[in-house]
Structure 1
């Protein structure tokens, strides 16, 4: 509907500072001419859309412009309420509880169709998360002992920027004054964390910008693993390893493809847990790693 598109264009311009007609056309899947007509309609409705010509030009709305709260529907409020409620299950906070109470009054949810339960994210790290939140808010350095994936332990002093939940774990995005670069630290590997009181040495960019640049310069190396999967392990391989069936084999077996991050350990432990229900076909180094690990386990228990 046109009214939805007009609202969408307004929100997009408020969030992106400036956008060209071609960018808006791609975003909303219409022609450039339609975008131009929509901009004219917004201007006639009193929304101050400014147009700038040239290679770096585009449409923009002044930062001082504020939308009427009536533009947000009850369904919008309901979605925000659902997200806040799910977030509160992961990270209890008086601020989140207060915001949740306000949105409860605004949205008046009478029938929750979506329930987000992130309480599993609270396991083991609630105190540390609160401590790091305090350091981020105060812009103070933190010191902690950290053991990396290679089992090397040392003390780090960093400037914490944000807490990030990704790849099934909490991470701290922080600036290392020693390496003069941004790093991510897995919270479960941190010990003896303390707020030092030392102020930041610099003003940091928004966390999303830093994380995007960090990922671009340090891309995770994904490895494709091909396995032969018996019927009993099929659903678990799809659920826990995000496996994709390549072809069906005899007796209900199948050949499956997995995409894994080789220096992470969760996927490898899952493969071992599936035991003789799966067989690594390639790459050979992963197959040899499984064989070597299996021999070590048998040796430990005196079976070889």
Structure 2
């Protein structure tokens, strides 16, 4: 346990210029005195630690120190390569391939076969079915803007289809739920917003001026849907008896409750919006909304509009 804590402290110090002892103590649930003993042990192992005095002081690594390959096991390297391979399915980047080659090059020759086996056990494919080149172009455009602190200008279509012209400071690209978002400070709304890349049109980088990166707002969970549990409604769906496989594409088997007539019930809390209506309608006549009653009416009305359109 102590060795794991020591390695974790080293990695934290590599990734942060300076940390406070009390913050490390809270993170690892030990006393400040224990943290200082750990720091002494790290120093004794030959890793240069520097302490800064004063109100804004703390603990850091000597400038220029880099992580030695021996601190990463082959299993840890394999996990990194697996993550890079998975990310590359949706976000193609030359640097990813170069980094994977570097990782492979530092594996001892006797371990190469086992290492390659471990890195090919799992692949999480994030790529969309349509393999859109436009998405890749947007990713590269936004990444360029983030790297150089340049503004992005675009037309945005919100969940209701309303178009607005936006200028924003891009900070972070986020992949969540098979969709890409950019967390950016919107100059028009004067706050941080999440923009879905597929809803961004006429995207361009304004190279005339740059911005200073802001401190990102603290948030427990990043959500592409700007909603909270307070506006969620419990929805009860009834799947027909012969389409359980459709339900299992979206819900865990334990969430499916059998009925006496062989159908399957699912109870789930959702925010009510256009996404929910489209989600339910995507199952066609295989699914019936049982609750809430007003949602039944909404789906019935939309189904009637679909019938009218095809008549």
TM superposition score category, shorter chain reference: 0.7 to 0.9
Q: How does 1:81-96 map to 2 (within 5 A)?
A: 81-96=81-96
How far, CA to CA, are the matches of 2:169 and 2:32 in structure 1? Answer: 48
- Give yes or no for contact 2:239–2:286 (8 Å, CA) kept in 1: yes
1:110 correspondence with 2:116 = yes
Distance 1:91 1:215, change over 3 A: closer
Structure 1: which 5+ residue stretches go unaligned? 26-30
Distance 1:294 1:243, change over 3 A: farther
How far, CA to CA, are the matches of 1:96 and 1:20 in structure 2? Answer: 31
Q: With structure 2 as the length reference, what TM-score do the two structures score?
A: 0.76
Measure how far apart 1:15 and its partner are.
5.5
Q: How does 1:81-230 map to 2 (within 5 A)?
A: 81-107=81-107, 108=112, 109-111=115-117, 112-120=120-128, 122-123=131-132, 124-205=134-215, 209-210=216-217, 212=219, 219-220=227-228, 221-230=231-240
Measure how far apart 1:161 and its partner are.
1.7
- Give yes or no for contact 2:236–2:265 (8 Å, CA) kept in 1: yes
- Give yes or no for contact 1:238–1:244 (8 Å, CA) kept in 2: no
Match of 1:270, SS state, is: helix
Structure 2: which 5+ residue stretches go unaligned? none
Match of 2:295, SS state, is: helix
Measure how far apart 1:49 and its partner are.
7.4
Distance 1:48 1:226, change over 3 A: farther
How far, CA to CA, are the matches of 1:286 and 1:195 in structure 2? Answer: 42
Measure how far apart 1:178 and its partner are.
2.3
- Give yes or no for contact 2:160–2:274 (8 Å, CA) kept in 1: no
Q: How does 1:47-58 map to 2 (within 5 A)?
A: none
How far, CA to CA, are the matches of 2:148 and 2:32 in structure 1? Answer: 49
How far, CA to CA, are the matches of 2:252 and 2:217 in structure 1? Answer: 28
Given the alignment, which residue of 293, 299, 302 partners 2:308?
299
1:286 correspondence with 2:295 = yes
The alignment yields a C-alpha RMSD, in angstroms, of: 3.6
Distance 1:224 1:46, change over 3 A: farther
How far, CA to CA, are the matches of 2:60 and 2:127 in structure 1? Answer: 40
Cα deviation digits, residues 23-65 of structure 1 (max 9, x gap): 413xxxxx8699679737556645677999xxx9xx9554646
Distance 1:48 1:182, change over 3 A: same
- Give yes or no for contact 2:126–2:178 (8 Å, CA) kept in 1: no
Given the alignment, which residue of 263, 269, 283 partners 2:273?
263
For this pair of structures, how many residues does the alignment match? 289
Match of 2:288, SS state, is: strand
Distance 1:202 1:5, change over 3 A: closer
How far, CA to CA, are the matches of 1:117 and 1:231 in structure 2? Answer: 31
Distance 1:222 1:200, change over 3 A: farther
How far, CA to CA, are the matches of 2:218 and 2:138 in structure 1? Answer: 21
